[in-house]
A and B are shown apart, each in its own frame.
Chain A
Amino acid sequence: MLESLAVGFSAFGDPMVWFALVFGALAGYLIGAIPGLGPSLGVALLIPFTYGMDPVVSIVGLVALYAAAEYGGAITAILINSPGTAAAVATSWDGYPLTQQGRTGEALTVSILSSGAGIFISTLFLIITAVPLSEFALRFGPGEYFALALVGLSLVAGLSEGSPLKGTVAMGIGLALATIGLDVQTGVPRFTMGNPEFFEGLPLVPVLLGLYALSEVLFMIEDGPSEKVKSSPIGGLLALPVKAILGLKSAIVRSSVLGYAIGVIPGAGASIASFVSYAVSKRLSKTPEEFGKGALEGVASSEAANNSAVAGALAPLLALGIPGSPTTAIMIGALMVQGIQPGPLLFTKSPEIPYTVFASLWVGVPVMVLIGLAGARIWAKVANIPRPAIAAIVAGICYVGAYASHTTMFPVHIMTAFGVLGYILRKLEIPLAPIILALVLGEMMETNFRRALISNKGEWDIFYTSPMTVILILIAVLAFVLPGLSQLRARRAKAKTL
């Protein structure tokens, strides 16, 4: 493992890898600091820039953007009480009160250092767990693989915001879209409407750009021109006494571990990680009454956790080929563009990819902290970029990116259609994450489902005789049922109070 890790670090001998790291981190900060734009949209928009790039260079850029965007959300949360990402909501609970008290510099320093520490600690866990997990997954047969993909999808559908039923419908839409094209095993065209351009299936990058980026443009049009936000002056960056930072170490370590563990669960993600860690830190704190009024411990817990969830979400992606978050699902799309299939074989076939990811997370920590601290004043102004300009830029990159993916107009039409569809689905509160995940995992799921049946001479008992498959299918069922039941209970309780 150490040898492979050395290979990962050796990638940084290439100046292009450094360029990708710095560019990704800058773009991530920019995207994260703009309220409404998140890491998913950022990664989707960055994919067109990776066409023709070396896979290692592009994955470093994408990972840097993902991590920096998660942190960038904290800046506007602290300065103007407007979290750039959902995962930074808990940061604003204490970050903004600190700004009101004139302690903006302290809040920003703590959040940046906690984010860096979170990534550093969680990457260690990622290295320790991803490799054995991938080795364990090599023992999986097609039945287990089908069940594993089902678990990933059901967790994402069940844990999606809103109704788990709508998450299930979204999953159905994504899986149906994944079946468009020539059947992999028989070569029969399916749902192509006689158009040969559909034979290779739906082009993934244009679908991602449409659903995540172009639909956001329509939301920006709805919001209209933004008003200028006045942020407080930033004084005292790095003025925080070392003693105060050291006092936060147990909160940071605890939140990093929690954040990583939650990030590994597909669908749970950075937001849940930050909320849970914040709640745990408040419960264990010696001064819980200060939480919500400007506790540095609260900022540190939320930020360490949401950044650790980045490494957590990468674990199932790299080791099993199952994305842990919508952003990593989009990242799979980027890897597929490069001809790389994540999963257990990645560690033996292309070890330079996962180990460069590990190395880039560590190397990226000082880069991210430096960019965050040095550019704090600039990032604070990012929230003031006029919304119409952002809408025009996002739409422009979407069209050029979609065209460049195949240098034909077909992906452009697909992206436009999915942009409008994404807007309608989001209005109906149908989550997009299960659609993307199903689209990415659909082919693998169907292939393994059919392989399992063929290997068992057409008998369906393969899905209930293998203990591992049974456990996985049970988890999948519970992931659908439990959130539904708890929502039903909550609704009944609400009805009783009326």
Chain B
Amino acid sequence: MEDYKKALGWRLRWDVIRGALPVLDLVGCAALLVVFWRYFAQAAALPAPLNKIDIGAGGFPTLLALAALLATAAVAVSAIVRIVDPVPVTWVSIRRPLYVLGTVGLLILQSLYFERLGTLPSVLIFAFLTMLACGERRPLHVIGVPLVLAGFIYVVFNLALDVNLP
């Protein structure tokens, strides 16, 4: 029983981050409980119905929040049961975590600068960087794919569908 307990928690290596699923479930449940609790508080604060036979704007969300809080608590309990259970826990791994984190940053940057840069420059730059993050190093591929993609988007969205892109 001690061995599996030692296996719980985190393992950090440069190329992979691993965490026990029940532990991650507990972290996720804590976050969800906060979110659903705030949702419940806001739903309860919504104006009461003018018509007494209606449940008002907040009625359905309040019921929903209560059900979601219960379900989240049940997931948390099941995670605790799995931690103390003799059945080995499932592990969740994130491979190439630095690249994943970098790409998340890239996606956020793209969403911030998409309009300012313009569609085609934005697609060219970020497609190039995404390919690099995914491990592509062949110069022809890294340059060719973004160019073809930008051309495809221009032809389809600008010319064929007449979408007004920045």
Contacts and interface: CB of A to CB of B under 8 A. Distances in A.
A495 B88 CA distance: 9
Contacts of B110: 395, 399, 416
11 contacts: A52-B163, A175-B68, A186-B47, A220-B134, A221-B99, A392-B130, A393-B145, A395-B107, A399-B122, A415-B111, A457-B53
Contacts of A453: 53-55
A419 interface: yes
B137 to A, nearest CB: 8
A409 B115 CA distance: 7
Nearest to B24: A428
Give the interface SS of chain B, mostly helix, strand, loop or mixed: helix
Contacts, number: 213
A395 B78 contact: no
Given A176-B65, A225-B136, A429-B90, 19 more contacts: A51-B163, A52-B162, A172-B68, A176-B64, A185-B54, A191-B39, A214-B107, A217-B130, A222-B94, A222-B95, A392-B128, A403-B166, A404-B157, A407-B165, A424-B28, A427-B94, A428-B21, A453-B54, A454-B53
Contacts of B166: 403
A34 to B, nearest CB: 14
Contact of A450 (B55, B90, B123): B55
Contacts of A293: none
Contact of B78 (A163, A409, A458): A163
Interface of B: 21, 24-25, 28, 32, 36, 39, 42-43, 46-47, 49-61, 64-65, 67-68, 71-72, 74-75, 78, 85-87, 90, 92, 94-96, 99-100, 103-104, 107-108, 110-111, 114-115, 119, 122-123, 126-128, 130-136, 141, 145-146, 149-150, 153, 156-157, 161-166
Contacts of A495: 85-87
A221 B133 contact: yes
A495 B86 CA distance: 6
How large, as a class, is the contact surface on chain A? 35 or more
Interface in A210-240: 214, 217-218, 220-225
A135 interface: no
Q: Which of A163, A168, A389 has the most CB atoms of chain B within a 10 A radius of its CB?
A: A389
A242 interface: no
A387 interface: yes
Contacts of A430: 28
